[in-house]
Amino acid sequence: MSSITFVNCFINPCGFFSFNSTINSELGDTYNQSTSFGTTYLDDFSKFNVVIHPNPSNGKITLEMNEVNRDRYNVTINNLLGQKVYYINKDIVGFFSHDIDISKYGKGTYLITITNSSEQLITEKLIVE
């Protein structure tokens, strides 16, 4: 069983920060993971909606974004070990719809992260059953 505790931890709400972790299994395997977080000025992203459907899914999903401001967007899907299983970088304006198939990576929980050129981000959870 694992746990993590933060004591007297201050995080600057105006910038990005990262957690680097190492997971050691009882079998001697080691997994390194780096996870970055950031804050978003909500008005920038409230102008469009992100819809991922179906969720939960069999690994085949559709990503839709509505009323998107013109920008270059990165869509990344990582498993919970931080391994990238999907990536696209695309100029988007208005409505965007994209079919994604990550079924070959198996069942589990994935994180879909969408960033723009200002490094503002949205992260959504995807369940593959």
Q: What is the total count of domains within the chain? A: 1
Q: Which domain holds residue 62?
A: 40-128
- Residues 32-79: pLDDT tens digits? 666 555 544 444 444 457 889 999 999 999 999 888 888 899 999 999
- Residues 63-74: pLDDT tens digits? 998 888 888 999
pLDDT higher for 67 or 20?
67
Q: Can you give the CATH number for the domain in which 84 is found?
A: 2.60.40.1930
Within a domain: 20: no
The residues near 51 (Cβ < 8 Å, ≥ 6 apart) are 63, 64, 65, 66
Q: What percent of the chain has a predicted confidence (pLDDT) above 70?
A: 67
Task: Quote the tokens at residue 8.
Answer: 């007297």
Within a domain: 3: no
pLDDT value at position 48? 54
Q: How many CB atoms lie within 10 A of CB 40?
A: 16
C-alpha 98 chain-centroid distance: 16
> What are phi and psi for residue 105, nearest 5 degrees?
-90, -5
Q: Which residue has the tokens 């593959």?
A: 128
